[in-house]
Structure 1
């Protein structure tokens, strides 16, 4: 989406640059109007136009896929697969976008209500082609569709010319152009090009009206009338105003300008190579983006937990190629999707899969088998099968999985049964007390190293049966030391009974 928005803005910059450099000084006002209305809309459509011929024009050997760069702080310990350690992240960009949309929508509604209130509040005079709204004690003059708003304090001798001017706006539906840009400002309020477009279309509207009305008298007389009408102006963006001080000079210059030669219309042909370049760009960039999707797309990792046939979905913070699918209980089923082999994975996916597989298919109390499937939203998932009986519920021995317990153990300082708080504090304890300098002394290769930790909280709230699996014996000893210093907690409850709870935490240790 961000790439699409950047393309839209870039294309609008090019279109507006063409207008300013080649067309804005020409007297082809109607053509310029349609240029300014059509090109911003064209900018929204061009990214969707893919021409296969252009895609084939660039030889494949010239499309270079750069290797992935993964940066991590030296002392980073990242959690990866446990349900209670995955936290939803807030997308502040999305929130900011919708706040802007709401703000500009409210502004638009306020302006619209202001116009409606003027129509309802003041004297309305029906005319054959328009409706005149007379505003007392004002010298305002503007139009909105078939409504012409006129201050009663405007001299009678000047009213006729002003009405003629505004009727041109009305008959040519200039208000539709301005409303279009008001809507574009709502959906793309952050795009400065929309505001520049609106300024230029407003000026072109005045050029059109001036050119038509000035034909009924000499240009000198019309210019003198224009200079003498220093009216108040309503601050409403989507109305056509007879007088706007910032536009007067430009309008007078354009009225006194010699009519452009018809040959100058060839300037519009400059659009052809520009449009071809844009289509070439989006077509070729689409080819590259498709390869990226197939070869190297990463996203926030999603955890799917199938608990006796019921699937719960949680999105975490870690950016990965692969998602994770965990199974528990007798009702477990594999995900709906095609099972893949390791040969179906790209290099990044293959590396991740092998790391997971190595960490999960050995040692007791952990998952014993991994498979991979094509799953939700085109993402591939690593599936951990429920082959270890310690993962499923065993009420007969008064032990239960942390993820199935009704009332989880309570960490000191947390609210009763708060699983998220429990998991967060266990993570903080581990990160704070783990000797992050130790891995650098063990001669381990750089990269991500999986550390799996298992422990039990007994019926008295003690941390017992701590087990660890790590790529080095000293790491395992360090993990055991840290986890054995966890404070005593309030034990968990299930079906009204105090019960022991098994808990496993996979961590990723990043070694630079």
Structure 2
């Protein structure tokens, strides 16, 4: 129990370092691809780095004991009262509470995953380049899940559809669904750490910024893309564990699209985590 407690503290501390660096130094930079790998590194480092330990062996010279010393120690042992067992095992209570909550959260993630798979299975699918296009009739926010893209073509013009599909294609080609799944699993295991949930949100937001940036580089009309963002924002039906086109952060996404590209000299900010990891 003590080892698990120390592991949890180390993991929480490492994730806090990554989040603080991201929030104060990297959040407003346009290095979205680098931010993605930085945030993913935070998940892996905080989960696995505390598992490694370094042992230092110190040899101490054995003291020379006289007969009087042994007799004194024997008398002190006789005067000691045997320890009483605690009436309540708090270790079992704490460990049980942790496991129950973790299983509930992870079970919820599993249910959401099954719901997505059932949703994809009951709708017609067509191939479009490397994508699996899922055509729906209900008003649902366009989203992607691995190489599946869900969209209601009747709600959008051809130009709007092109913008949406390009955005979701970037999510698919760069396997952003893996990031979303990992962040959900991390929150299930480290639910006790408040910043883990904010970290998950930061990962999702950065993926949207990244897809927006890459899509804008390939589109001829940025204005149409931004209008499409606003139009899709009126639809609020989205499945969890997906990359929905509307992430309820439309204003931030439009501001990021209009922001000037960060200068490369700001890349030094990523190296600030190295001293923290060494410490």
- Give the structure 1 partner of residue 78 of structure 2: none
- What CA deviation, in whole Å up to 9, does each residue of 1:456-511 have, x standing for no partner? xxxxxxxxxxxxxxxxxxxxxxxxxxxxxxxxxxxxxxxxxxxxxxxxxxxxxxxx
CA distance, structure 2, for counterparts of residue 273 and residue 86 of structure 1: 43
Structure 2 residue 189 is the aligned partner of structure 1 residue 187: yes
Question: Shift in Å at residue 152 of structure 1?
Answer: 4.4
Distance of aligned partners of 1:152 and 1:11 in 2 relative to their CA distance in 1, 3 Å threshold: same
- Give the structure 2 partner of residue 103 of structure 1: 104
Secondary structure of residue in 2 paired with 1:102: helix
TM-score by length of 1: 0.46
Greater per-residue strand proportion: 1
- Give the structure 2 partner of residue 118 of structure 1: 119
Measured on the aligned residues, the alpha-carbon RMSD in Å equals 2.5
Structure 2 residue 44 is the aligned partner of structure 1 residue 41: yes
Secondary structure of residue in 2 paired with 1:132: strand
Question: Shift in Å at residue 151 of structure 1?
Answer: 2.4
Distance of aligned partners of 1:153 and 1:140 in 2 relative to their CA distance in 1, 3 Å threshold: farther
Higher relative contact order structure (alpha carbons within 8 Å, sequence separation ≥ 6)? 2
- What CA deviation, in whole Å up to 9, does each residue of 1:240-259 have, x standing for no partner? 010122x1111111111111
CA distance, structure 1, for counterparts of residue 225 and residue 83 of structure 2: 75
- What CA deviation, in whole Å up to 9, does each residue of 1:363-390 have, x standing for no partner? xxxxxxxxxxxxxxxxxxxxxxxxxxxx
Question: Shift in Å at residue 50 of structure 1?
Answer: 4.4
Distance of aligned partners of 1:225 and 1:96 in 2 relative to their CA distance in 1, 3 Å threshold: same
> How many equivalent pairs are there?
251
CA distance, structure 2, for counterparts of residue 24 and residue 185 of structure 1: 21
Secondary structure of residue in 2 paired with 1:125: strand
Distance of aligned partners of 1:48 and 1:155 in 2 relative to their CA distance in 1, 3 Å threshold: closer
CA distance, structure 2, for counterparts of residue 187 and residue 27 of structure 1: 30
CA distance, structure 1, for counterparts of residue 276 and residue 21 of structure 2: 9
TM-score by length of 2: 0.82
Structure 2 residue 151 is the aligned partner of structure 1 residue 150: yes
**Contact conserved, 2:141 with 2:232, CA < 8 A, in 1?**
no
Question: Shift in Å at residue 133 of structure 1?
Answer: 1.0
Structure 2 residue 227 is the aligned partner of structure 1 residue 227: no
Secondary structure of residue in 2 paired with 1:161: helix
| Unmatched runs of 5 consecutive residues or more in structure 1 | 57-77, 278-512
Secondary structure of residue in 2 paired with 1:237: coil
Greater per-residue helix proportion: 2
**Contact conserved, 1:141 with 1:231, CA < 8 A, in 2?**
no
Secondary structure of residue in 1 paired with 2:155: coil
- Give the structure 1 partner of residue 63 of structure 2: none
**Contact conserved, 1:139 with 1:231, CA < 8 A, in 2?**
no
- What CA deviation, in whole Å up to 9, does each residue of 1:272-306 have, x standing for no partner? 222222xxxxxxxxxxxxxxxxxxxxxxxxxxxxx
- Give the structure 1 partner of residue 74 of structure 2: none
Secondary structure of residue in 2 paired with 1:9: helix
- What CA deviation, in whole Å up to 9, does each residue of 1:23-73 have, x standing for no partner? 1111111100000001121123333444579x99xxxxxxxxxxxxxxxxx
Distance of aligned partners of 1:220 and 1:232 in 2 relative to their CA distance in 1, 3 Å threshold: closer
CA distance, structure 1, for counterparts of residue 140 and residue 133 of structure 2: 14
| Unmatched runs of 5 consecutive residues or more in structure 2 | 59-80
Which of structures 1 and 2 has the bigger CA Rg?
1
- Within-5 A mapping of 1:272-311: 272-277=274-279
Distance of aligned partners of 1:223 and 1:235 in 2 relative to their CA distance in 1, 3 Å threshold: closer
**Contact conserved, 2:43 with 2:186, CA < 8 A, in 1?**
no
**Contact conserved, 1:29 with 1:207, CA < 8 A, in 2?**
yes
